[in-house]
Structure 1
Amino acid sequence: MTATAAATGQRRRSTRPRDEFDPTPWPLALLCGAAGGVCALLAFPPYDLWMMLPVAITLLGAGLLVRSAGLALLVSLLWGLALFVPLTHWAGTYAGAMPWVALGVFEALYIVLFGLLARTVMVRRGLCLSSALIVSALWVGVETLRSTAPWGGLPWGASAFALADSPLLNLAPWIGIAGLGFAVALLGQLLLFGALAVLGRRRRGFTGFSGVWPFAIAVAAVLATVVVPHPLNRAPVERPSMTVAGIQGSMGAIDPVSFTMPDDVFANHLAVTRDVIERTASNGTQLDLIVWPEDSTGWDPREDPDLARQLTLAAEDAGAPLLVGTQVRVGDHERLNQSVLLTPEGTSPYAYSKRHPVPFGEYIPLRDLFRTLTDKVDLVSLDMIPGEEVGVMDLAALDQGQDQVGILICFEIAYDSLVHDVVDDGAEVIVVQSNNALFGDTHEAVQQLAQAKVMAVTSGRSVVHVSTVGHSAIFSPEGRRIDFVDHWEQGALLADVPLRTGITPAVAAGPWISVGLSALGVLGLLAALGTDRRALARPARRRRGD
């Protein structure tokens, strides 16, 4: 090597940024992981401390700034377990502790994946705006992966669902579920930059009290979202409302051995329906639609003349069709979860079959394999098969009104792709039928209700969420709660529900927001892998007194 080349190499090495921040001591890193997961849990219902989610991501980021990738893995796992094991406690109501904990551990592995990828970017690129954008995009990518794979994924615990009571929800119709996840992760990165600077852990960029600036930017960004308008508010309202009654009949506990619905479920819902009919008749209100929840009739009323007669008579007295939830056998080993419309004329012209059955809850994938691990798989004796058609019921075509009603069943409200489908197919309002009795006194019901509110704002559609035992509620397209029935109460939702036909930017973009952000994360990761820069302080280069 010539003297000139050696000098050039020396200059390159000397100008390469290094030692940007000090690594987090391993005990503190582990504490950040566990505490961060707890903070994330507190962001979701029933605690609703949404501002703890950016703090949780900040703590995760701080815990990842360690020398060892193995330690970063453990930090990420602790964070994921502290969030997902208690968040999915409802999964053990009837199946027991083993499936519940297995679900929590499996979901936590996605946080491990994010942690290792994020650490790579932060260590190789340092803490700068570009790395913050890449890490936030990776957060979206991993959430998207978790919501789609395997077996259709499970979006429970997605960042957006912690924001039901946050001003950030005003961004939802503009940037969608993926955009909200990106915004929360970016806030977490800003808080991380500020915290490291104020605590004296940074050596470049924001240091010391200059770290107040990232805090100020984060707070200002949140405050700015308060005045973000809903994109459909300025659109002309051609179809103002439809009058809907949502029936929450409530019932006794589900038999934990047979896993069957109690005998009083049909009678309770019929009694509440009769009460609503009397109320509306006395004040002159004309109903457009009556909605019963998922599983409210047990097996198919079209196969039971007595049930069909009682439902038809109720629809006739109300002067409105009745949408019920039922189960339909398909052969000896399968079933459909259906929403069936019954008219005052005694016909059933429309039925929607749930398109996204829940793995391990409504069907068992690889049943023979998982039976070798636990006999709990046999609690699901009939595998639910998916429907094929998007659930949009055109009441005008059925001579039952002039409205187009989108239909989703239970967990389907958590999947933004399914919500987008019904809106794209013309739904002016979305009805969600659910049976939260399956989860007892856990927090599943209130968490699902938060999902309904978030999806109402994202889609620009009113959401009528009706459960057997609650919580039931109607949300306007702006997220305003119009009516509500509490958990385990017997009652009815009754309201003029706003209708909308406009399309929000989030729905118009479809999957491309999540695809674009995920691609940004992957490209940024690949670029980081192409450099040998390391922003962590190394022992050999530490100055005395540091």
Structure 2
Amino acid sequence: MTAREDRARARAQDRKEREREERSARRRSAAPMPAWLAPPIAALGGYAAWAAFPPHGLWYLLPLGLAALTAACLVRRPGIAALSGLAWGMAFFLPLTAWANIYAGLEPWIALAVFESLYIIGFALAARAVLVRWGPSPRAGLVVACLWTGIEVLRSHVPWGGLPWGASAFALQDSPLLTLGPWIGTAGLAVVVGVLSQLLLGAAWLLLGRRAGRSRSLGLWPLTAAIVVVLVCLVVPRPHNPAPDGSGTLRIAGIQGNVPRLDPQDLEMPAEIWDNSLALTEQAGADARSAGTDLDLVVWPEASAGWDPRQDAVRSRALVGAAEDAGAPVLIGTATEAPGDRVYNTSQLWTVSGGPEQSYSKRHPVPFGEYIPARSFFRMLSDKVDLVPTDMAPGRSVGVLDVGERKVGVLICFEIAYENLVQDLVRDDAEVIVVQTNTALFGDSDEAAQQLGEARVLSAISGRSIVQVATVGESAIVTPDGRDLARTGHWEQGIVVADVPLRTGITPAMAAGPWIAVGIGALGLAGLLLALGSPRRTVDIPAPRRVRRTR
């Protein structure tokens, strides 16, 4: 055999070996995140995600923060992924729920952040199981996005009814993505955020050369796809959402009575909230008469009466007089007796004929805030449970009240964060939604801004205007298209009043009920099971290609 033939055979063998190594490299997952770097990267991602929420409103940081979390999940050991999930969760939930430190104290605040972070740990482990088998790829990205949504839905409902505070959708009040809300609801918006995060992760991995056998320039494609998704949202049409026959509006006045800052040791509402609310109601009626208009409804905030006015003839007459001054029924917030030495958080509608003619009791009291589940057990862990001396009982009826010939839906405080409660109102023909809340309990924290952001998002999703009335701010009247018809600041007396548009149509998200969330969760679970059934791939950096030397 000639030297020429030897060289040709060597080149052919070398080419086959290179092709074999390239095919093997393409089958491998991305190189792992170093164990020492993953938790800090995750913590930075969690902090960035917090900045996406009101009052900061940097919504585009949420997919970036989630991308950082999933990048930190691609590690060799599950324990590091779990630690990264905890780091992300604490960096996110501690600042997000800082208001809990005011209301309940340091230990319950930290306990809340730790408990919510357990869900993020669950997501991190599930995402890692997918990524170490499929690598950063389109199918892995879709499954991870669905898993993120599934975990978010789970923590929003389990246990004790859950807590959806910090759900992805609530960062999007000023985002183009919110145009998708009436079509796909909060769960669908969470998937979109998840998909964007995985596109950004894929782009970063390719641009940084972390996928073997691929050109770095390919990273421009997922980045372009993420930009296209956002741009498309700018032209998404709104669902048809017709106004009812007639005027199509209710003239509603929200009364922000305001009180001095509360003593964090007792957080008792001062009695002056009652006097302030009465005075502002009289002013609202006078303003309406001077403007030649009529009010249809006056709304006071949650806890505007610290007692049941039905038990006090003087205060009952004062409310009748307030309705006469305003020329409209007055919806107040109070506490009423419930079976078993408990109380209801109740909205009462008072008219010139007396009252309350109609009422609504809060259906979803906040666990550990308004009642203590398994009180005897948790008392063994901390005596902080006695900060809530009386448990609040849940109401049973959906809060849709008749105001003249119109239907007004009522929610109290944190209930605005629960999409299923909003769906109940819409299905029961509510044409506008009123939210009564006591923000005085949370001092100067971001809670009021966060809650108003939730109201904006649910207004867009439900197709209903929302009137949020707070004790000390922020009170506002918002429409489904994102307009502020009226608004007050924090720690100030004021009245928000507007002709509020009414709607009767049902958006696709409202019509779908829970099935969007169920479908997405099922897709994520199926993808996880499919990934677990796949052969595990290496997560090591591919070895350098060997070059055969020839003579």
Sort the TM-score into its range (normalised by shorter chain): over 0.9
AA aligned to 1:145 is L
Instruction: Give 1:121's aligned residue.
Output: 130
1:331 offset after TM fit, Å? 5.2
Distance, in Å, in 2 between the alignment partners of 1:21 and 1:81 is: 27
1:412 offset after TM fit, Å? 0.3
Instruction: Give 2:55's aligned residue.
Output: 46
1:377-415 Cα deviation digits (max 9, x unpaired): 1111110000000011123xxxxx111000000000000
- Is the counterpart of residue 453 in structure 1 residue 461 in structure 2? no
What SS does the corresponding residue of 1:438 show, helix, strand or coil? helix
Distance, in Å, in 2 between the alignment partners of 1:276 and 1:40 is: 41
Instruction: Give 2:488's aligned residue.
Output: 485
237 and 330 in structure 1: CA distance in 2 versus 1, 3 angstrom threshold: closer
Instruction: Give 2:500's aligned residue.
Output: 497
- Is the counterpart of residue 169 in structure 1 residue 170 in structure 2? no
Distance, in Å, in 2 between the alignment partners of 1:491 and 1:21 is: 57
What SS does the corresponding residue of 1:386 show, helix, strand or coil? coil
Distance, in Å, in 2 between the alignment partners of 1:336 and 1:480 is: 33
Instruction: Give 2:388's aligned residue.
Output: 380
- Is the counterpart of residue 422 in structure 1 residue 443 in structure 2? no
1:237 offset after TM fit, Å? 5.0
Instruction: Give 1:138's aligned residue.
Output: 147
Instruction: Give 1:70's aligned residue.
Output: 79
1:276-306 Cα deviation digits (max 9, x unpaired): 1111111111000000010001111111111
Structure showing greater radius of gyration is 2
**1:459–1:503: 8 Å Cα contact kept in structure 2?**
yes
Instruction: Give 1:7's aligned residue.
Output: none
What SS does the corresponding residue of 2:232 show, helix, strand or coil? helix
1:243-262 Cα deviation digits (max 9, x unpaired): 00000000123343443211
**2:469–2:476: 8 Å Cα contact kept in structure 1?**
yes
Distance, in Å, in 2 between the alignment partners of 1:428 and 1:502 is: 9
- Is the counterpart of residue 531 in structure 1 residue 534 in structure 2? yes
Instruction: Give 2:44's aligned residue.
Output: 35
AA aligned to 2:399 is G
What SS does the corresponding residue of 2:58 show, helix, strand or coil? coil
Instruction: Give 1:89's aligned residue.
Output: 98
Instruction: Give 1:8's aligned residue.
Output: none
For structure 2, which runs of at least 5 residues remain unmatched after alignment? Answer: 1-19, 547-551
97 and 236 in structure 1: CA distance in 2 versus 1, 3 angstrom threshold: closer
Distance, in Å, in 2 between the alignment partners of 1:456 and 1:340 is: 23
1:324-353 Cα deviation digits (max 9, x unpaired): 000012356310000000011123210100
Distance, in Å, in 1 between the alignment partners of 2:393 and 2:474 is: 27
**1:259–1:379: 8 Å Cα contact kept in structure 2?**
no
**1:253–1:262: 8 Å Cα contact kept in structure 2?**
no
108-117 or 527-536, larger mean C-alpha shift? 527-536
AA aligned to 2:522 is A
Instruction: Give 1:466's aligned residue.
Output: 469
What SS does the corresponding residue of 2:332 show, helix, strand or coil? strand
AA aligned to 2:296 is D
Distance, in Å, in 2 between the alignment partners of 1:254 and 1:31 is: 37
1:273 offset after TM fit, Å? 1.1
1:535 offset after TM fit, Å? 5.4
Instruction: Give 2:5's aligned residue.
Output: none
1:25 offset after TM fit, Å? 1.6
- Is the counterpart of residue 244 in structure 1 residue 246 in structure 2? no
What SS does the corresponding residue of 2:381 show, helix, strand or coil? coil
1:50 offset after TM fit, Å? 0.3
Distance, in Å, in 2 between the alignment partners of 1:391 and 1:332 is: 23
Distance, in Å, in 1 between the alignment partners of 2:102 and 2:42 is: 27
What SS does the corresponding residue of 1:27 show, helix, strand or coil? coil
Distance, in Å, in 1 between the alignment partners of 2:520 and 2:317 is: 53
Instruction: Give 1:510's aligned residue.
Output: 513
- Is the counterpart of residue 60 in structure 1 residue 69 in structure 2? yes
AA aligned to 1:542 is A
Distance, in Å, in 1 between the alignment partners of 2:188 and 2:182 is: 10
Distance, in Å, in 2 between the alignment partners of 1:146 and 1:90 is: 19
AA aligned to 2:290 is S
Instruction: Give 2:441's aligned residue.
Output: 438
Instruction: Give 1:5's aligned residue.
Output: none
AA aligned to 1:438 is L
Distance, in Å, in 1 between the alignment partners of 2:465 and 2:482 is: 8
- Is the counterpart of residue 403 in structure 1 residue 406 in structure 2? yes
1:447-487 Cα deviation digits (max 9, x unpaired): 00000000000000000000011101111122211110111
Distance, in Å, in 2 between the alignment partners of 1:75 and 1:376 is: 29
**2:26–2:212: 8 Å Cα contact kept in structure 1?**
no
291 and 36 in structure 1: CA distance in 2 versus 1, 3 angstrom threshold: same
388 and 236 in structure 1: CA distance in 2 versus 1, 3 angstrom threshold: closer
Match of 2:202 among 193, 196, 202: 193
**2:243–2:504: 8 Å Cα contact kept in structure 1?**
no
What SS does the corresponding residue of 2:270 show, helix, strand or coil? coil
Work out the number of aligned pairs and report it.
525
**2:25–2:212: 8 Å Cα contact kept in structure 1?**
no
**1:339–1:351: 8 Å Cα contact kept in structure 2?**
yes
Instruction: Give 2:159's aligned residue.
Output: 150
Instruction: Give 1:110's aligned residue.
Output: 119
Match of 2:310 among 294, 302, 308: 302
Instruction: Give 1:391's aligned residue.
Output: 399
Instruction: Give 1:542's aligned residue.
Output: 543
50-59 or 222-231, larger mean C-alpha shift? 222-231
Distance, in Å, in 1 between the alignment partners of 2:459 and 2:103 is: 30
Percent identity (aligned): 54
1:132 offset after TM fit, Å? 0.9
**1:340–1:348: 8 Å Cα contact kept in structure 2?**
yes
Match of 1:181 among 170, 175, 190: 190
Equivalent positions of 1:309-348 (< 5 A) are 309-330=317-338, 333-348=341-356
Question: TM-score, normalization: structure 1?
Answer: 0.93
What SS does the corresponding residue of 2:157 show, helix, strand or coil? coil
Instruction: Give 2:230's aligned residue.
Output: 222
Match of 1:363 among 338, 350, 371: 371
Instruction: Give 2:16's aligned residue.
Output: none
AA aligned to 2:131 is M
AA aligned to 1:374 is S
AA aligned to 1:496 is D
**1:122–1:535: 8 Å Cα contact kept in structure 2?**
no
What SS does the corresponding residue of 2:389 show, helix, strand or coil? coil
- Is the counterpart of residue 232 in structure 1 residue 236 in structure 2? no
Distance, in Å, in 1 between the alignment partners of 2:286 and 2:215 is: 69
1:42-76 Cα deviation digits (max 9, x unpaired): 10111110000010011111111111111111111
**2:41–2:72: 8 Å Cα contact kept in structure 1?**
yes
**2:29–2:131: 8 Å Cα contact kept in structure 1?**
no
**2:250–2:499: 8 Å Cα contact kept in structure 1?**
yes
